Structures are given as structure tokens and as C-alpha cells.
Amino acid sequence: QQFEKDLDKAIGGTWKKDTEPPYAALTYTFTRIEATTKRLEITALLTSFFLLVIKRSKAGDTDTLRLCVYLCINRLCPDYQGLELGIGESLLVKAIAESTGRAKEAIKDDLKREGDLGTVAVNSRSHQPTLWKPKPLTVPFVFARLTEIAKTSGNASQTKKVNVIMKLLAACTAPAALEAKYIIRSLEGKLRIRLAERTLIVALAHAVVLWQQDQEGKKWNNEQLAEQFEEATGIVKSVYSELPTYDLVIPALLAGGAKGLRESCKLTPGIPLKPMLAKPTKAIGEVLDRFEGKQFTCEYKYDGERAQVHRMQDGSVAVFSRNSEDMSKKYPDLVEQLPRCFKESAHSFVLDAEAVAIDKNTGKLLPFQELSRRKRKDVKIEDIQVKVCLFGFDLLFLNGESLLRKPLSERRELLRTHFQAVDGEFDFAKSSDSNTTEDIQAFLEESVKDGCEGLMVKTMESESSYYEPSRRSISWLKLKKDYLDGVGDSLDLVVIGGFHGKGKRTALYGAFLLACYDADSETYQAICKIGTGFTEEVLKSHTEILKELEVHALRADVDAGGAKPDVWFEPKVVWEVLAADLSLSPVYTAAKGLVDERGISLRFPRFIRIRDDKNSDDATGPEQIAEMYERQALAQSKPGKKKRGG
């Protein structure tokens, strides 16, 4: 209630029942969230805001809440529809300059000082007297304009985008609500209010519980309320991980509360779920320790690209990437091959698989690099040079039924019953169910000989082998041959800065600053400088890609610690990197505070490849780095192990 009063006061009582929420109401909530680091407080603020949206929306309106939710996580649609914001700095500087009558250079100078273009936009506005009074921005209006900008492409798209942005900026008139700040940040692609999606889901569940309490005239005590909160949160989280689209989950949630959600929203072919991921392991001994007493299976870890294949009720087929991107246009050959790979008994399904490049003549597996040479868009079957074979390892849905809560042994059985191997087109992931060290070692060697990265080891029976969407689960362990001697696994890191090359390489970047990504605080944390082992050719290609991403100032969501590169980049490009080991560092900020008050850095980092199947916020997180550091420390403390630096 206090939040409601504060909000109404801040925006001058402009939000009435049955009217659209002013955008300022949302940005007021953002400013309150940005001002705290406490997760519980963030959840409470957002819960209060969502509750207000529900209460003040017209009866039966579920769309307003949906739009607010999307704006809170800075998205416009479910991931698989692929519409994204992320407008470059120079275009935004231009729009701010033109809408405020200031020079671009002045804006850039301010940006260098502030590090946040959103704040610069707010400060720039006050320089300009308002000649006419535009209509206040509402949430649906801003959402529609952002969507329009994201959809604009082709001829003169830059000018069109600048015009829409200028109109939005000119209409930012609410007192002290800092609308311009968040419009600009939304356009940039990151809100930077430390609002992780998992917190938003909790707030959504809580708001619906409170609203239902109101509706049903109940008065729960604190204990009962906490119980209701917990139950609702669990349901919303699990349903959303199966059906990750607010377009369906929010209307269902408002219609039947959390309790009805499991019935109304289920895994559906056509809507990709976030894949289950694995934890790294360093040795077969560790696998045996972790899975002691459990039945498990080893599968080849194929070196390709994850492919989640959906067959819809109408018989059409779609292939989605690890990031829920629709890859059907990248893999027209896979789409063509598929009907031969499943039997008539499989009317609809969701298959989890790896797409791997193979040699056209010998059928041998080729490394991921070959696959990455394929074009990503508008691929024509007749132009395809690199042939792809699909290796199925899991079945998540079959003929109207979700299989997520069935043990892997059953899912595998169904997979083998309803699919069939077709030479060079489809096969089942090769597996071995033997659990002795010798057999695992032999199978690991064999997998590497056959061109795989190593093994995936998975629990087979009971609840511990259920499919866990979007989780890096301890029920799946990866054992990569290459990494047994290093830190145990490679890291996926974001390139945030560059150092100019020396000597004949002055036109190129010679070294780079890398960062991990902390989803909780929405910050990139610097982890190491990487500069050795690049050939001239590789440096050239990196320079070409990264030059485009140079920005004028260190962004506020980059925590660079003591690192001082010559240029900063928009955090976009993800590299897979290996290191000799991890060490504590007073300079770098990765995982700072998790194992020590210092950060963690990589020693002897080595570039492996560009991960263009990962977004910058899919990069390795600080908890994973802390975990790797702790495992390394543990391994070094075991008798017989040589101590290494750090």
C-alpha cells in the first residue's frame, strides 16, 4: 500500500482504474528497483507493481500485465520469435542529439563521463524548453514503438528508427520518473536494474496469490501466505520452463491462478523449451563419486550444435537452437531429412539432439568448425557443402504427452521405438551403460577417436533422471577428453575490451579483455586478458568483427576492476576459452566475493572458438567460476597432487 501511495504521488496520480498504465509508473518502479541491491526488496517492489497492474486493468484484460512483464525483462516476445532490441550507440547518440538540439560531440563527452547513455538522455532533456505538451507515454504505446523499431529493416531503416526514438524521447514528460533513461537503456538492449528473470517470475507468482486473496475475500496469516507464495512460485517456475512464453502463461495465470496452470499450460511442440545442461567434471573418479549408488549411462558428447526438433500436430517440423532460435532456415536439409528418421507412430514430438557435420563421402564426423562454416540464414539445399547428421539423445514429448517427468531409461526406450537410424542422416547417440572405470575410460577414448569431444554421463533411473529444462543439472555430467588436464572445462566469455597491437600489428587489436556474466546483477565481470597464440589472420578477423562494437565509454554494467584496455566493446561477442588454471586476483572482478574478496582470473587463457550460438548473457557465470576454482583447490589439496599457483 505504501508503494501504491508513493507511486501515485511520484507520477501525479495519472494512473486511474481501467486506464492503461503510464510508462512513468513502470519507470518509477525501475528507479526503486535500481536503488536497492536486496533481492527480497526487488521482489516485493515488483510484486506490488504487478498487483497494481492487475487491479487497475479492465476486467478480463490480460495483455497489460503481459506487456509490463516483457518491458521489465526488456523483451518484446518469446525468444523463439527472435525480435530483439539492441540499437548501436551511434544511432542512439544521433537520436538524443536531434531530439534535444545538442551536438553529438557534447553527448559523447557526457557519455564518457557518465558511462550510461540513459542518464545522458535524461540530463540532455532538461536543456530543451518544451514548446508543446505531448501526450504522456503509456506502457502499451512504448511497447508498440519499441516493437516497431525492432521490426524496422531495409532501406532508410536508420532514419526511420531515429524518428521513432525522437518521438518517444520528446514525449518523456512525467516528473522525476526518468522515462528517457529507461527508453534508451531498453533500446540499447539492457535495463541494468539487476532484475533477473527468475526474480520476475517469483514476483509474478506472488502478485497473483495476493490478487486471488483479495478476490476470494480471504485473510491469510503470514505463515499461510508464505506457503501460498512458495507453492505458486514453484508451479509458475516449472510451467514456464516447459512453456517459456508469457503470451500463454500470463493469460492462463490470470484466468485460473497458479494452481490451474499445470493443466492449462504444458510443453507444446512449436514452442522450444530451454535445454537441460551439464556440469563439468575433471575425471572419471569424480563421475563415480558423484553418481555413487545410481545407475548411469555414458553417451558420446558430439561436437556439433544443439538441435531441438519439434514436430507439430499438423505435421510440420521446426529445428530450434540452444538459444531457442528457429534454425529451420539454416538447416533446410535437416528439415528435409527428418521425415525419414521417425516412424509413422510418432505424430508429434520434441526431440533433443546434436546436429553434427559429417564427411559426404566417408560419413566420418567432422569438428564443429566445419559446421560453423555454414551460412546461418536463407540456406538453399542445393548450395550446401557441409552435410549434417542428427544424433538423437532424448525425447521430451511424444504424441500429446510430455515425457519430462519420466526416467531417462523410459525416454530412451520411446526414442528408439519411434525413430530409426538412417545412414548419414540420423542416428541415436552412441551409449554404453557399463559403470566401471575401465569401461568408461575405454568408451571415452573411443568417442574421441570417432571425432567427439568426450562423454556425457547421465543418471538413468528414478526422479533424479527427469529432464530438467534450463538447468545445469548434476544429473548430467560432461567429461571432455581435452580438458582433463586443464581447469576441467572451457569457459564462454564475453569480449569487453581491446588492446592495440604492437609493431606491425598496430592496425589490429593484439589482445583482448574478457568477462564473465553475472545474471543476478546484470553485470559483466572482467576475468582476464588474452593475447597470446593468435595468428595474424585470426587477429584480423577478430578486429573486423569487434571494430564495429567499439563504444565510447566504459558501460555502467561492466565491472572492469583494475583492467585498462585501449578500447571498450559493446559486450556481444562470446568466445570459448581454455585455461591452465584459475587464480585469485586483485585486478579482476569475476566471482568477486564468492570464494574470496578478490576476484578470480584465468592463467594462460587460450582462445578455442567463437560461440555464435551463445548470447552475451549465456556466458559462463560467476557461480560456475567459483565452483571451478573450489574444485581445483580441492584437487590440489589431495595427496599426491602437485600444487599450482593461485
Beta carbon of residue 354, minimum distance to ligand ATP (angstroms, whole number): 4
Find the binding residues for ligand ATP in span 48-77 (CB under 6 A).
Answer: none
Phi, psi of 429 (to 5 degrees): -55, 130
Site mask, ligand ATP, residues 516-535, x = CB under 6 A? --------------------
**Residue 151 known to be catalytic:** no
Q: How far apart are CA 145 and CA 467, in angstroms?
A: 39
Phi, psi of 477 (to 5 degrees): -115, 140
Listed residue (471, 432, 465, 473) closest to 284, CA to CA: 432
Q: Please, which residue, 229 or 426, has the CB nearer to ligand ATP?
A: 426
Q: How far apart are CA 266 and CA 396, in angstroms?
A: 12
Told to check if 3 binds ligand ATP by CB under 6 A, we report no
With CB under 6 A as the contact rule, the residue among 75, 306, 330, 555 that binds ligand ATP is: 306
Q: Are 285 and 435 in contact (CB under 8 A)?
A: no
Told to check if 429 binds ligand ATP by CB under 6 A, we report yes
Told to check if 419 binds ligand ATP by CB under 6 A, we report no
With CB under 6 A as the contact rule, the residue among 322, 374, 406, 555 that binds ligand ATP is: 322
Told to check if 456 binds ligand ATP by CB under 6 A, we report yes
- Find the helix or strand (DSSP H, E) in which 512 lies: strand 509-518
Crossing angle of helices 157-170 and 179-188, rounded to 10°: 160
Phi, psi of 170 (to 5 degrees): -65, -25
Count of residues that interact with ligand ATP, criterion CB under 6 A: 15
Q: Out of 94, 190, 279, 301, pick the active-site residue.
A: 301
Regarding beta strands 426-428 and 387-398, do their DSSP bridges make them parallel or antiparallel, or are they unpaired? parallel
Told to check if 427 binds ligand ATP by CB under 6 A, we report no
Q: Are 588 and 575 in contact (CB under 8 A)?
A: no
Q: Please, which residue, 152 or 435, has the CB nearer to ligand ATP?
A: 435
Told to check if 354 binds ligand ATP by CB under 6 A, we report yes
Told to check if 415 binds ligand ATP by CB under 6 A, we report no
Beta carbon of residue 414, minimum distance to ligand ATP (angstroms, whole number): 16
Paired strand residues for 518: 523
Beta carbon of residue 603, minimum distance to ligand ATP (angstroms, whole number): 20
Regarding beta strands 523-530 and 558-559, do their DSSP bridges make them parallel or antiparallel, or are they unpaired? parallel
Beta carbon of residue 321, minimum distance to ligand ATP (angstroms, whole number): 10
Told to check if 426 binds ligand ATP by CB under 6 A, we report no
Told to check if 468 binds ligand ATP by CB under 6 A, we report no
Site mask, ligand ATP, residues 240-279, x = CB under 6 A? -----------------------------------x-xx-
Cell for 292? 555413487
Q: Please, which residue, 142 or 307, has the CB nearer to ligand ATP?
A: 307
Q: How far apart are CA 577 and CA 528, in angstroms?
A: 11
Told to check if 467 binds ligand ATP by CB under 6 A, we report no
Beta carbon of residue 303, minimum distance to ligand ATP (angstroms, whole number): 7
Beta carbon of residue 385, minimum distance to ligand ATP (angstroms, whole number): 22
Q: Please, which residue, 194 or 301, has the CB nearer to ligand ATP?
A: 301
Q: Please, which residue, 248 or 457, has the CB nearer to ligand ATP?
A: 457
Q: Are 320 and 237 in contact (CB under 8 A)?
A: no
Q: How far apart are CA 590 and CA 584, in angstroms?
A: 10
Residue with cell 527428418: 338
Q: How far apart are CA 275 and CA 279, in angstroms?
A: 13
Q: How far apart are CA 216 and CA 206, in angstroms?
A: 15
Q: How far apart are CA 477 and CA 634, in angstroms?
A: 18
Cell for 29? 518502479
Q: Please, which residue, 180 or 456, has the CB nearer to ligand ATP?
A: 456
With CB under 6 A as the contact rule, the residue among 393, 483, 499, 588 that binds ligand ATP is: 393
Find the binding residues for ligand ATP in span 273-302 (CB under 6 A).
Answer: 275, 277-278, 299-302
Q: Is 610 exposed, middle or buried (0-12, 13-18, 19+ CB in 10 A)?
A: middle
Q: Please, which residue, 456 or 496, has the CB nearer to ligand ATP?
A: 456
Q: Please, which residue, 299 or 425, has the CB nearer to ligand ATP?
A: 299
Beta carbon of residue 276, minimum distance to ligand ATP (angstroms, whole number): 8
Told to check if 320 binds ligand ATP by CB under 6 A, we report no
3-state secondary structure 21-86: CEHHHHHHHHHHHHCCCCHHHHHHHHHHHHHHHHHHCCCCCCHHHHHHHHHHCCCCCCHHHCCCCC
With CB under 6 A as the contact rule, the residue among 311, 478, 529, 555 that binds ligand ATP is: 478
Listed residue (61, 83, 87) closest to 70, CA to CA: 83
Told to check if 555 binds ligand ATP by CB under 6 A, we report no
Beta carbon of residue 402, minimum distance to ligand ATP (angstroms, whole number): 19
Q: Are 281 and 289 in contact (CB under 8 A)?
A: no
Q: Please, which residue, 21 or 392, has the CB nearer to ligand ATP?
A: 392
Beta carbon of residue 516, minimum distance to ligand ATP (angstroms, whole number): 13
Told to check if 319 binds ligand ATP by CB under 6 A, we report no
Count the neighbouring beta carbons within 10 Å of the beta carbon of residue 640. 4
Active site residues: 301
Contact residues: ligand ATP, CB under 6 A: 275, 277-278, 299-302, 306, 322, 354, 393, 429, 456, 478, 490
